[in-house]
Amino acid sequence: MICAPTDRPTPAKDSIRDHYDLATPWYRLVWGPHIHHGLWSEEDSRRTVPLDSPLVAQERLTDTLAAHAGIQPGDQVLDVGCGMGGSSIRLARERRCDVTGITLSGVQRRWATTAARLLRVTDRVRFQQADAEEVTFPANGFDVVWSIECTEHLFDKRRFFQRASAWLKPGGRIAICAWLAAAEADGLDLRRQVEAVCDAFLCPSLGTFADYVGWMTEAGLEVQHTFDWTERVSRTWELCDTRVRRLGLPWIARFIDRRQATFLDHFRTLLDAYRSGAMQYGCIVARRPETVA
Ligand SMILES: C[S@@+](CC[C@H](N)C(=O)[O-])C[C@H]1O[C@@H](n2cnc3c(N)ncnc32)[C@H](O)[C@@H]1O
């Protein structure tokens, strides 16, 4: 694990909440209702100009994760770190499941609730403002615990997987996408790149693939799928960087809250970390066994 809380000063939980309270309109403007990478097809990710738009690529990421998690109509899903409700609402509409989304940010909770109302899915989707590291849910309550690009922000990832495992029904799945430190990133230069990403994007630490697999396994889960999607998602940051500059956002942000808009200057930092091999983008699905051995 890199930038582990013992290694470096970590961001305060309040600054993560403040970041999403203030930056959500920026994310919406630059990237749409999903605050996560797009997943381009292998062929498209090799083209200089992609055929698929960012929205199509983001929906592909959500739909591919849902397929690997085997989400069925009627499933009870917990969306941890639900952002503006992009995944929750899509899962409810496309997969006919019932979704509870939690987010640290009060602004995002209200935004997601309004989006669900406008899209007429409030009978199947609800949102709470809650800290995933503190919230409690009854044991055996969910078929799927889903989390796209939230675990980077958690301080005790091992403990989170222990708790999330207990929320799953026997046979339930946990499905995550996460920014990862590459196993090779223990060299000084690569490590500094990961640390720069942690600092710019308020991540207390980034785990490696092996860390995540270890935490899930220790939590009694059986890992079913691991995919390295780095090549297929990286262009996200080229496109974000171009859009941000075209819209003049760094300039506008100077007049609003410069500290909360630092991330606008660091899309290249992330792209460089993928290109150098310091970071990877991973998808992992694990299952709670039907019976405990
Ligand atoms: C990069 S955004 C991803 C949002 C959403 N999953 C999506 O794909 O559109 C990270 C999300 O994690 C949430 N988050 C960060 N730390 C959290 C915590 N401790 N508890 C709950 N949510 C948290 C943020 O509020 C934000 O919604």
Q: pLDDT tens digits, residue range 212-232?
A: 999 999 999 999 999 999 999
- Which of 27-31, 167-171, 265-269 is the most confident on average? 167-171
The yes-or-no verdict on residue 23 having pLDDT over 60 is yes
Tokens of 252: 């506008």
Nearest atom (ligand 1) to Cα of 155: 19
Count of residues making up the chain? 293
pLDDT tens profile 230-240:
999 999 988 88
Helix intervals (H) in the chain: 13-31, 42-46, 54-69, 86-95, 106-118, 157-167, 188-200, 209-218, 230-233, 235-246, 249-253, 267-276
Q: Quick one: pLDDT at residue 202?
A: 93
C-alpha to C-alpha distance for 175 and 81, rounded to whole angstroms: 13
Q: Quick one: pLDDT at residue 292?
A: 60
Establish whether residue 107 lines the binding site of ligand 1, counting it when its CB lies within 6 angstroms of any ligand atom.
no
- C-beta separation of 65 from 95 below 8 A: no
Q: What is the mean pLDDT of residues 68-87?
A: 98
13-287, superfamily in CATH? Vaccinia Virus protein VP39 (3.40.50.150)
- The model's confidence at residue 255, banded by pLDDT at 50, 70 and 90, is low
Range from 23-37, 102-116, 142-156 carrying the lowest mean pLDDT: 23-37
Nearest atom (ligand 1) to Cα of 147: 6
Q: Which helix (H) or strand (E) holds 78?
A: strand 76-80
Nearest atom (ligand 1) to Cα of 84: 9
Q: What is the mean pLDDT of residues 151-156?
A: 97
The pLDDT > 70 percentage for the chain reads: 90
- C-beta separation of 180 from 197 below 8 A: no
Q: Quick one: pLDDT at residue 46?
A: 87
Q: What is the mean pLDDT of residues 1-12?
A: 67
Q: Quick one: pLDDT at residue 252?
A: 60
Q: At 199, which amino acid appears?
A: D
Cβ neighbours of residue 291 closer than 8 Å, sequence gap 6 or more: 170
Selection from 208, 204, 207, 198 nearest residue 263 by Cα: 198
Q: Quick one: pLDDT at residue 260?
A: 56
Q: Quick one: pLDDT at residue 180?
A: 97
Pairing state between β 168-181 and 279-287: antiparallel
Establish whether residue 83 lines the binding site of ligand 1, counting it when its CB lies within 6 angstroms of any ligand atom.
yes
Q: What is the mean pLDDT of residues 124-148?
A: 98
- C-beta separation of 71 from 91 below 8 A: yes
Q: What is the mean pLDDT of residues 90-119?
A: 98
Q: How far, in Å, is the centroid of ligand 1 from the Cα of 23?
A: 12
Selection from 165, 156, 168, 131 nearest residue 207 by Cα: 156
Read off the pTM. 0.93
Domains of the chain, residue spans: 13-287
DSSP 141: -
